[in-house]
Structure 1
Amino acid sequence: MRTNRAGSLLVAGIVVAGTLVPGSAGAAAPLWKTPPATPLPPGATNTVLQDVSVIAPNDVWAVGTWWNDDQVGPFTVHWDGTAWKSVPAPELSQPTYLTGVDTLAPDNVWAVGSGDDDAPGAPVPTTGVLLHFDGTAWSSAPAPAAAAGVETDLDDIDMRTPDDGWAVGHTEKSGASDPLILHWHAGTWTQSAAPALPGVELTSVVAAAADDVWAVGSGAVLHFDGATWTRVDVPIIGTVVMNSVAAVSGEVWIGGATCVTTLVCAPMVLHRTATGWKSETSAGGGSVVTEVVASKAGVWTFGYHRTVTGQESGHVERWTGQGFQADNSVVVPGGPVDRAHPQGEIASATPLAGASNDPAGSMVWAVGWQAGPPRSPNVIYWS
């Protein structure tokens, strides 16, 4: 759940310029590239991508949302190594936006999202959405029923195996929210008991093993040991937003921000090793980390820089082994500070919303949108 570089190219508002691999002075880096533009849904005036999943160079899925003055709908596209193809989502009973996708195989892809309760014709309450692609078409998967009057939202999904997967989000009733965790096992989604944490909305999940699953959200880190979810203490100070969690080689990474106000934020990255948790220092130049990618090829953070006037631009950093180094070769146009309607919580109003790597660690993709108006998909990849 789960992102270049020769010559100076301006493609769809993204500058791709020359750079070097961190820690390898003089060596040419793999290039950040921009694939051909994604097709847009008929009738859409705005389209955004919220998440991307990579299984191979010719098998990439991205999901998000399209909307106009009258409609809101899910948006799914597939990259076959040459071009993007729009793959229609099934008919759904509510206006829906998608915020998470994960791929196990070409015929086993999952996506999650939520009903947009601000859209015309939205039911009350709206519910979380689970979609499955079987190699031919998307279909809606049954989700556990919520109690009467309770809204459910799903933000992220991580499928460890065909029979072991997790989806996270939150429930809401009368303005009060609580964490929501779903588990896929034996061909069924069931609700997993979460700690009582009023106000916590989960935004990201990663399953490193059957007994080592991590979920993060609004100021909370949760861990599943194979039997029970518990809250984990981490070294944070002040008001913290946790947007993304990733795991590789026994280590865990969390990205987010520490905010004084909605306009004054500093990036936050937490790192868990064999010796425990510690805070890693950002290279500077960013405001919020929206996504962390941890792969065999390295660790990246993706997010944005926000000016005091609310203008935002994409920001990417890479872990060198000793610290983070900014990748200033990726420059993405920003947008206004107010939330673009409709969106999931992970992305907020960032130009780069989601990122993923392939299992071999040879490619990293990042997706989001150009600020517009109108808003349109924004995609870059490293290989």
Structure 2
Amino acid sequence: MSNVTVARVEDRDLRAGRLRWAIGASALALVWTAVSAVPASGAAAPKVDPYSWTETSIGQPGLMIEDVDAADGAAWAVGSEYGERLVALRRDGDAWIDATPDVPGVNLVEVAVAAADDVWAVGWDGSADAGTTSPLVVHWDGTTWAEIPRPAEIGAFDDVVVDAEGTVWVTGWARIGSAETAVVYQYADGEWTEYADGLQNAINGNSLTVLAPDDAWLALNPGLAHFDGTSWTMVEEFPADGSQILSGVAAVDATDVWAAGLRYTGGAIQPIAWHYDGSEWSEVQTPNVSAQVYDVTIVDGQPVVVGEELDRDWASTPLVLTTRPGAEDPRLVQVASPTTNAVVLTSADADAGRLWVAGGDIDVFTGFAAYAELP
């Protein structure tokens, strides 16, 4: 899919495999068109090298890594094998170990590591009926995976978060009554609670960050919303017309929140970033390149944004953006990515003195993970 020559329409989400490639063209449809990948003006900022990357072998061919997450000294990655069989990999010493759940017909797209014996992964199950998916949630207790009863019969989940109190949050979309809409569920004490009030005009929840039970942010398709413990309120500053789509959101604290995604205007796509200072959201300058970004994490109080840069022929190379330490200007600059043949970085996360990135090349199914030791 790195060379787009025909129109492509996707009507659901950004994060289901290479549906990440979809571009927001309206609030109801995501349209790929054969457009130029040339930056609108200017040139990219010079690449600098704040990170020294170490590539790791994932140990088997045919994989595309969708997400990597680390906590409590444990690291996990999830994805698919040749776009068909789900895969979960656990970092064991210096190697990735296959620890895939025994659940047929499903896809895993996101993983959250609360502890070495408390790992959650989400996606969807398409085995029951062609054209219909059911949301999937699985849990690792340190020894085995268990499938958690789903809160909805029809839908798909795209992100999972475990908050400081141990409550599990998931987002994506689900059929509620006769409507298919963005949803957020909480799972605690073996019970699901739905929080979809305020999300009726959104078609998918892409990324979620939780600061407290009454303080959470949700990147939507389209839009950006805040949770007050009861319902969601759309952020007025962020355009909800589909011209910008956010695929990642992360927070330093309640007064320092970052969101990233893409803008589609005039036949071109560019990375976007927004910042919340505790009172309002404002757009942050990004390099003037053709690119899509898929995830953002926080490293030493700074955002690290990952994705792919596109050339005139739609060929992709890994993209890493961050802010300059100590700079008063909050703009994002392009920095050196891992030296790899992976064309896209789908995920980033930091823990235990390491910044992890992961992704791959969907055209030849070459999965990839790398880390940088942090000061």
Instruction: Classify the TM-score, shorter chain.
Output: 0.7 to 0.9
Distance in 2 (alpha carbons) for counterparts of 1:329 and 1:203? 24
Q: How far apart, in 2, do the equivalents of 1:157 and 1:48 lie?
A: 19
What is the percent sequence identity of the aligned residues? 22
Residue 370 in structure 1 maps to residue 373 in structure 2: no
Alignment of 1:296 with 2:300, yes or no, is yes
Q: CA deviation at 1:245?
A: 0.7
- Tell me the amino acid that sits aligned with residue 267 of structure 1: P
Residue in structure 1 matched with residue 336 of structure 2 by the alignment: 328
The 10-residue stretch of structure 1 (314-323 or 230-239) with the greater mean CA deviation from structure 2: 230-239
The whole-number CA distance in structure 1 between the counterparts of 2:93 and 2:288 is: 34
Matches within 5 A, 1:24-103: 30-35=51-56, 37-40=57-60, 46-56=62-72, 58-67=73-82, 72-92=84-104, 95-103=105-113
> Alpha-carbon deviation of 1:53?
0.8
Q: TM-score, normalised by structure 1?
A: 0.77
Letter in 1 for 2:371: Y
- In the alignment, structure 1 residue 352 sits paired with structure 2 residue 352: no
Which amino acid in the other structure matches residue 326 of structure 1? Q
> How many angstroms apart in 2 are the aligned matches of 1:190 and 1:209?
16
Which residue in the other structure is 1:253 paired with? 258
Match of 1:130 among 110, 134, 137: 137
- Mapped to 1, the partners of 2:193 and 2:230 lie a distance apart of 14
2:240 & 2:225 partners in 1: Cα distance?
17
TM-score where L is the length of structure 2: 0.78
1:272 maps to which of 259, 262, 276: 276
Q: Which residue of 2 aligns with 1:182?
A: 185
The separation in 1 between residues aligned to 2:342 and 2:359, in whole angstroms, is 11
Distance 2:293 2:144 in 1: 33
Closer/same/farther in 2, CA of residues 181 and 275 from structure 1, 3 Å limit: closer
1:145 to 125, 129, 152: 152
Deviations 1:99-135 (A, max 9, x none): 1110111110000001247xxx755532010000000
Describe the superposition over 1:346-369 as per-residue Cα deviations: whole angstroms up to 9, x where unpaired. xxxxx11111111x5x22111111
Secondary structure of 1:315's counterpart equals: strand
2:370 alignment partner AA: I
Q: Which residue of 2 aligns with 1:317?
A: 321
Q: Does 1:107 align with 2:117?
A: yes
1:74, CA displacement in angstroms? 1.4
Q: 1:224 aligns with which of 223, 227, 238?
A: 227
Question: 5+ residue gaps in structure 2?
Answer: 1-46
SS at match of 1:34: strand
Matched length: 322
The answer to whether the 8 Å contact 1:177/1:199 transfers is no
* Partner in structure 2 of residue 167 of structure 1: 170
Q: What's the CA shift string for 1:123-161, capped at 9, x where partnerless?
A: 553201000000001110111133xxxx30100011013
Q: Distance in 2 between matches of 1:259 and 1:51?
A: 24
SS at match of 2:156: strand
User: For each residue in 1:252-303, what CA deviation from the matched residue of structure 2 results, as whole angstroms up to 9, or x when unmatched?
Assistant: 1111011137x62011100000341111111333511211112335211111
Alpha carbons 1:97, 1:113 under 8 Å: kept: yes
1:129 corresponds to which letter in structure 2? L
* Partner Cα distance (1:46, 1:165) in 2: 31
Check conservation: 1:333, 1:371, Cα contact below 8 A. Answer: no
How far has the Cα of 1:233 moved from its partner?
A: 1.6
Residues 196-205 or 105-114, more deviating: 196-205
Letter in 1 for 2:58: T
